[in-house]
Amino acid sequence: MTELDYHHDTLYIDGQWVASTGKDFIDVENPATEEIIGKVPAGTAEDVDRAVRAARAAFDGWAATPVDERAKYLTRLQEAMASRMDEVARTISAEMGSPLKFAQLVQAGLPLSDIATAASGASEIRWSEQIGNSTVVLEPVGVVGAITPWNYPLHQVTAKIGGALAAGCTVVLKPSEVSPLSAYLLFEAIHEIGLPPGVVNLVTGYGPTVGEAIASHPEVDMVSFTGSTRAGTRVAELAAPTVKKVALELGGKSANVILPDADLTKAVKVGLANCFINSGQTCTAWTRMLVHESQYDEAVAIAAEGAAAYTTGDPNEETTRLGPLVSGAQRERVVGYIEKGIAEGARVVAGGAERPHEKGHFVSATVFADVTNDMTIAQEEIFGPVLSIIKYSDEDEALKIANDSVYGLAGAVWAGDQDKAVAFAKKMKTGQVDVNGGSFNPIAPFGGYKRSGIGRELGRYGIEEFLQPKSMQL
């Protein structure tokens, strides 16, 4: 197995690897070892301007490229990335700590699905239709600025790039400065397949410099952002003066509602897995488990026992189920929430704030009992392996608690009767609900209600997000 080189000194602009106009670099840390393993350029506003101009120059040609030709490019990109799956998994495991098995299955697997579904979804779009005396056509928005987070560093990129390219848009990407390395593998593949120069551009750097330059650039027609609600608000503010379209996929505080007639053991165990996936660094994580008062003590016991099996350790080891958090700052943030939960009266039944290893940004799988929905740990997104178990007395109270959140990204409901579960799911104010363990669907629309965001990604809906209608009255 060859050693991967994580040191990059160029950006990708107008079909070429070029130096940044700045001289600074960003160190990339392995969060399991706390060692610096690579670097990327700290891009500048001038770099963003170069990339936007390249994307603008390429737009007309790419938009005019037939839909099936755009789909063929995406298919070739998917094939090129499929041959790099091992590199992608190893890179993401190194840069943000995902256990290697999870990185291979999800961190490397989902991007392939994103690209493939974008290629196939283009044919599902109704590009033109007749409405009365009008012909209505869908046209690409234009130049898209894509700003992505560190927790699923390649999936979040391909979800945006796939939809934008299928729609006929051109793109300027800023990946997270915390985990930017996997984006370079994608752009090596983009270069390899011969995507026309300027169609997709890569500018690495910090949010206040590169991200803000993208969001405020007058020649960017749309910004697609995934990250915290606080940062998303800032993106929207910067985009407002030029009235550009904004798509935001933000935070979550999802409820896992277990109704009394559900299979309690299964619902609790699946709920634990969902909460702790990617070390809890998942915006859709079911971090609030709602259990009927008659089953509460049993559920707490099942959860406490189950959490003990989520072993932390070297992401390369087969037995590791929880990798480190992405950074020291993130670990401090999560530990602070655990301490706050204890201070507000919640009871730790598994895990806790203690450091499980001398080195690495690890936090043990933590379960809180005796949580009320007004506690900080039940209201704010922690983004770590922390579960709050909340008691309810009847279904009306369960629904009230589930919807008592500023977020609305995901959720779950379990019941012995499927129709009953679906009826409950319809009343949950959230963008997606898993019913009795229904699996993630990569072609269904993904996005949130309330402060969890604006717009949708994935599948046909994810392509339509990058389109705008034109009516021609005949």
Q: What CATH number is associated with residue 424?
A: 3.40.309.10
pLDDT band at 188 (very low <50, low <70, confident <90, very high): very high
Q: Are residues 324 and 459 in the same domain?
A: no
Q: Are residues 145 and 240 in the same domain?
A: yes
Q: Which residue has the tokens 């749309």?
A: 222
Q: Are residues 236 and 278 in the same domain?
A: no
Q: Are residues 169 and 238 in the same domain?
A: yes
pLDDT tens digits along 250-266: 999 999 999 999 999 99
Q: Is 106 helix (H, G, I), strand (E, B) or coil?
A: helix
Q: Are residues 260 and 246 in the same domain?
A: no
- Answer whether residue 446 is part of any domain: no
| Number of domains the chain is built from | 2
pLDDT of amino acid 1: 42
Q: Which residue has the tokens 């770590």?
A: 384
Alpha carbon 233 to its chain centroid, in Å, reads 17
pLDDT of amino acid 60: 98
Q: Is 233 helix (H, G, I), strand (E, B) or coil?
A: helix
- Answer whether residue 363 is part of any domain: yes
Q: Which two tokens stand for residue 427?
A: 């009343």
pLDDT tens digits along 444-470: 999 999 999 999 999 999 999 999 999
pLDDT of amino acid 3: 62
pLDDT of amino acid 105: 96
pLDDT of amino acid 340: 98
How would you classify the pairing of strands 366-371 and 386-392? parallel
- 283 catalytic? Reply is yes
Which residues constitute the domain of residue 408?
255-441
Q: Are residues 375 and 347 in the same domain?
A: yes
- How deeply is 333 buried, as exposed, middle or buried, from its count of CB atoms within 10 A (0-12, 13-18, 19+)? middle
Q: Are residues 457 and 437 in the same domain?
A: no
Residue 231's CB is within 10 A of a number of other CB atoms, namely 18
Tell me what the mean pLDDT of segment 402-417 comes to: 98
What's this model's pTM, rounded to 2 decimal places? 0.96
Q: Are residues 223 and 323 in the same domain?
A: no
Cα separation of 446 and 424, whole Å? 20
- Answer whether residue 293 is part of any domain: yes
Cα separation of 154 and 194, whole Å? 20
pLDDT tens digits along 43-60: 999 999 999 999 999 999
- 237 catalytic? Reply is no
pLDDT tens digits along 211-244: 999 999 999 999 999 999 999 999 999 999 999 9
Tell me what the mean pLDDT of segment 313-320 comes to: 94
Cα separation of 195 and 50, whole Å? 18
Residue 437's CB is within 10 A of a number of other CB atoms, namely 13
User: Above 60 in pLDDT, residue 442?
Assistant: yes
Tell me what the mean pLDDT of segment 131-149 comes to: 98
pLDDT tens digits along 352-393: 999 999 999 999 999 999 999 999 999 999 999 999 999 999
- Answer whether residue 117 is part of any domain: yes
Q: Are residues 89 and 181 in the same domain?
A: yes
Count CA atoms closer than 13 A to 309's CA, side-chain side: 7
Catalytic option among 177, 212, 275, 283 = 283
Tell me what the mean pLDDT of segment 161-174 comes to: 98
Catalytic option among 29, 95, 249, 465 = 249
User: Above 60 in pLDDT, residue 91?
Assistant: yes
